[in-house]
Amino acid sequence: MTKQFDAIIIGAGIIGTSIAYELAKKGYKTLNVDKNPAVGYGSTSSSCAIIRTYYSTADASALAYEGWHYWSNWRDYIGDDLESQLISYRDTGSLLYKTEGNRMLANVPPIMDAIGCPYQHMDAAQVKQRLPIIDMHRYEPVKHVEDDGFAEPTGPEIYGAIYFPKSGYVNDPQLATQNVKEAAMRHGAEFIFNATVAEISQSNGRASGVVLADGQAISAGIVVNVAGPHSGKVNALAGIGGNTTIKTRPMRQEVASLKAPDGYDYEKDGPICADDDVGTYSRPESGNHMLIGTVQPPCDELDWIDDADEFDGNISEQIMTQIMRQAQRYSGLQIPSSVNGIVALYDVSDDWNPIYDKSDLPGFYMAIGTSGNQFKNAPLAAKIMATIIEKCESGIDHDKDPGEFHLENINWTLPLKTFSRNRQINADSSFSVLG
Ligand SMILES: Cc1cc2nc3c(=O)[nH]c(=O)nc-3n(C[C@H](O)[C@H](O)[C@H](O)COP(=O)(O)OP(=O)(O)OC[C@H]3O[C@@H](n4cnc5c(N)ncnc54)[C@H](O)[C@@H]3O)c2cc1C
């Protein structure tokens, strides 16, 4: 017998699970289907879960600043009678370094002023005060380790930074997803795992459900693609691959984890850093460790992947490149002989901003292209998707009338065309994980 739901959500990462929570609260009977064994096992499990508010546009920054309010008040959003322990969110503050390449961050203060997000300009001495273990030299442009001039300063001092006090990280992104799952289940949401969607069923020109790899058919008038790096493959199942102006593609990433320099409690006192001068981002991790990722400096080739099911999961020399770049900033960083880290995929859109939209197939929706930077926005991505789905299902043409979404905590109204699959590429984008 065919099971019947209002909405099938393909994927149970942080965004797919949050969409279940928001739809279930509105009374939809939802089912998340995930090929992994539990929630948050896809790219969410590898997330650095950094919550920061600077993006290339006011709307993207506003969304992130609104998102900060959810992580800071997680118990209010999720409730407190869950079986799982609640995640903890820590405001560490974050430093965004000024460089010639990022035009001294001239675009950032007007955006932060517009959205009412606090920040502070710091000169080099103030940065040193905030983070006493840093090497103050300037190194831009970012280089490869084997390039002439690597680790040779190009200036005596960094230009300074912008400091954002309302910024930090979530201790466990998978646990965050488990929290949301339990909250969603209290509203009737259902989940199945170890179940791969192999077909998107259609009838009368609409999505009408899914067929799993084991042949089981499940019906629903609404199907939502939240498949992370598999988003392109799932769109192809729906027959809409290539129908959008903005495309998404998987990109391989490595994040290193290593001990912070001795003599400094980086876990307790260290801020998040986005350092265009050496091409890395970093955050504190338990055990006085430091997580080190890359901000896609222009000298690096991007590691695009053709098929999200086939990529090299082994650490490569890229991870050592990131560590060596970071070591320019921290002379006390000890380079280990064997490196710990993770290899994962981003689902990158053409302008590194997400698609939260309907599709050309009625009843089929997409929350994709999260480009390594949408963990922080999951609660809002879910609210936006629930709004779009409700609107479209009531007969409104979302393409003609995309409408707006109000961010209550910061009193900012967001035009939903920002997330359209057919928008113009955001030319202001950093075209990196910074969005
Ligand atoms: C290394 C790394 C670091 C990151 N750091 C940050 C950060 O610091 N801050 C931030 O805001 N964001 C960060 N991100 C981005 C953030 O983690 C993602 O945007 C977010 O987790 C995406 O969630 P999701 O639910 O859309 O996708 P996912 O978590 O990838 O979930 C998609 C799910 O779909 C399932 N699926 C796919 N195809 C099928 C199918 N055919 N049938 C059934 N199931 C299917 C998969 O099994 C998977 O579980 C980072 C990402 C990575 C990889």
Annotate 41-73 with DSSP letters as a single string: -SHHHH---EE----SSHHHHHHHHHHHHHHHT
If you measure from the C-alpha of residue 11 to the centroid of ligand 1, how many angstroms do you get, rounded to a whole number? Answer: 9
If you measure from the C-alpha of residue 332 to the centroid of ligand 1, how many angstroms do you get, rounded to a whole number? Answer: 33
CA-344 nearest atom, ligand 1: 53
pLDDT tens digit sequence for 163-214: 999 999 999 999 999 999 999 999 999 999 999 999 999 999 999 999 999 9
Q: What distance in Å separates the CA atoms of residue 39 and residue 24, rounded to the nearest whole number?
A: 17
Q: Work out the pLDDT band at 2, boundaries 50, 70, 90.
A: low
Q: Which pairing describes strands 289-294 and 340-349: parallel, antiparallel, or unpaired?
A: unpaired
At 281, the amino acid letter reads Y
Nearest CA to ligand 1 atom 41: 197
Q: What is the pTM of this model?
A: 0.98
If you measure from the C-alpha of residue 229 to the centroid of ligand 1, how many angstroms do you get, rounded to a whole number? Answer: 7
If you measure from the C-alpha of residue 380 to the centroid of ligand 1, how many angstroms do you get, rounded to a whole number? Answer: 15
- Average pLDDT over the chain, rounded to an integer: 97
Pocket test for ligand 1, best of 31, 44, 70 (most atoms within 8 A of CB): 44
Percentage with pLDDT > 90 across the chain: 96
CA-45 nearest atom, ligand 1: 29
**Do 62 and 409 contact (CB within 8 A), yes or no?**
no
Neighbour count for residue 213 (Cβ, 10 Å): 12
**Do 410 and 84 contact (CB within 8 A), yes or no?**
no
If you measure from the C-alpha of residue 248 to the centroid of ligand 1, how many angstroms do you get, rounded to a whole number? Answer: 13
Q: Is the minimum distance from the CB of 201 to ligand 1 under 6 angstroms?
A: no
If you measure from the C-alpha of residue 236 to the centroid of ligand 1, how many angstroms do you get, rounded to a whole number? Answer: 18
User: Of the candidates 181, 403, 131, 140, which has an alpha carbon nearest to the alpha carbon of residue 279?
Assistant: 140
pLDDT at position 146 is 97
Q: Which pairing describes strands 94-97 and 161-164: parallel, antiparallel, or unpaired?
A: antiparallel
Q: Is the minimum distance from the CB of 196 to ligand 1 under 6 angstroms?
A: yes
At 113, the amino acid letter reads D
pLDDT tens digit sequence for 249-273: 999 999 999 999 999 999 999 999 9
Q: Is the minimum distance from the CB of 33 to ligand 1 under 6 angstroms?
A: yes
If you measure from the C-alpha of residue 19 to the centroid of ligand 1, how many angstroms do you get, rounded to a whole number? Answer: 13
If you measure from the C-alpha of residue 329 to the centroid of ligand 1, how many angstroms do you get, rounded to a whole number? Answer: 30
CA-370 nearest atom, ligand 1: 19
Q: What distance in Å separates the CA atoms of residue 46 and residue 31, rounded to the nearest whole number?
A: 24
Q: Which pairing describes strands 161-164 and 120-122: parallel, antiparallel, or unpaired?
A: antiparallel
How far does CA 200 lie from the centroid of its chain? 26
Q: Which pairing describes strands 280-285 and 289-294: parallel, antiparallel, or unpaired?
A: antiparallel
Q: What distance in Å separates the CA atoms of residue 38 and residue 60, rounded to the nearest whole number?
A: 30
If you measure from the C-alpha of residue 426 to the centroid of ligand 1, how many angstroms do you get, rounded to a whole number? Answer: 22
pLDDT at position 241 is 84
Strands of the 50-51 sheet, one edge to the other:
50-51, 168-170, 89-91
Contacts of 44 by beta carbon, 8 Å cutoff, 6+ apart: 13, 14, 15, 173, 174, 177, 228, 375
Rounded to a whole number of angstroms, the distance between the first and last alpha carbons of the chain is 45
Q: Is the minimum distance from the CB of 7 to ligand 1 under 6 angstroms?
A: no
Q: Is the pLDDT of residue 246 over 60?
A: yes
Q: Is the minimum distance from the CB of 311 to ligand 1 under 6 angstroms?
A: no
Average pLDDT over residues 331-338: 91
Q: Work out the pLDDT band at 80, boundaries 50, 70, 90.
A: confident
Pocket test for ligand 1, best of 10, 41, 47 (most atoms within 8 A of CB): 47
Q: Is the minimum distance from the CB of 253 to ligand 1 under 6 angstroms?
A: yes
pLDDT tens digit sequence for 369-411: 999 999 999 999 999 999 999 999 999 999 999 999 999 999 9
Q: Which pairing describes strands 289-294 and 248-259: parallel, antiparallel, or unpaired?
A: antiparallel
Q: What distance in Å separates the CA atoms of residue 81 and residue 426, rounded to the nearest whole number?
A: 42
Contacts of 247 by beta carbon, 8 Å cutoff, 6+ apart: 232, 349, 350
Which helix (H) or strand (E) segment holds residue 349: the answer is strand 340-349
If you measure from the C-alpha of residue 46 to the centroid of ligand 1, how many angstroms do you get, rounded to a whole number? Answer: 8
